[in-house]
Chain A
Amino acid sequence: GIQVEQSPPDLILQEGANSTLRCNFSDSVNNLQWFHQNPWGQLINLFYIPSGTKQNGRLSATTVATERYSLLYISSSQTTDSGVYFCAPAGGDSSYKLIFGSGTRLLVRP
C-alpha cells in the first residue's frame, strides 16, 4: 500500500508567521485530502487535492502527483491554527481508502 511521510513532525510558530507542511507519498494517487485536527480532537477537512493548487483563505495546498508530494501553506498563522495536520492520499483501485500520515503537530504562540 501507499506509504505516507509528513514533515516536519513538530512545528512551533509565532503568531503571524508563515509555514509549509510537506507530505510525500510512495505511489500514484487519485485522491488526496488534508485535514486539521484541533486541540479538542475534531477533524476538519481542509482540501480535496489529488493534483493542482487550491486556496481557501489563509490556507493553500499544492499537489504534484507526478513527483509524489503535496504541500500545505499556512500564511499569517493564528493561535487557532494549532493542532495536528494530516495528509491522506489514496490510489489505485481504492481511491476512497485514505491512508493517513503521522501528522505535523503545529503550535502557534501568541
Chain B
Amino acid sequence: DTAVSQTPKYLVTQMGNDKSIKCEQNLGHDTMYWYKQDSKKFLKIMFSYNNKELIINETVPNRFSPKSPDKAHLNLHINSLELGDSAVYFCASSRREGGTDTQYFGPGTRLTVL
C-alpha cells in the first residue's frame, strides 16, 4: 500500500551509461515531480507533470528526459551519465485540481556514477 514508490532504490553505474528510474503513485494525484538532492542535502526541482503534461522544466541538462505514460507514473531517463549526476533522486506527487498541492515524496533513488 506504498503511496509513492520508486525503483530502483540504489543504482551504481559507470560513466557514459544510460539508466532509468521509475516512479509510481497510487494516491490518485494529478501532478508528479522529480527532485535532485545533492551531497549537501540541497533539494532542487527538476521536472513536473500535470495530467501527463510537462509544466516545470528547470535548467537541467538535456541528457535528462522525463516521461509520463499516465497520471500515476513518471519515469526519468538519463543518457551518458557523468560523475556529477551522482545524487539522490526523489519522485513526488500532489493533487493540484481541488487539492492543496501537498507534496508526498517517494523513498528516493541513490545514483552513484563511477
Contacts and interface: CB of A to CB of B under 8 A. Distances in A.
A21 to B, nearest CB: 15
Contacts, number: 48
Interface in A40-88: 41-45, 48, 84, 86, 88
Nearest to B48: A96
Interface string B5-47: 0000000000000000000000000010000000001111100
B68 interface: no
Given A41-B108, A84-B41, 11 more contacts: A33-B103, A42-B107, A43-B108, A45-B103, A45-B105, A48-B100, A48-B102, A86-B43, A88-B43, A97-B48, A98-B103
Interface of B: 31, 41-45, 48, 50, 55-56, 88, 90, 92, 94, 96, 100-105, 107-108
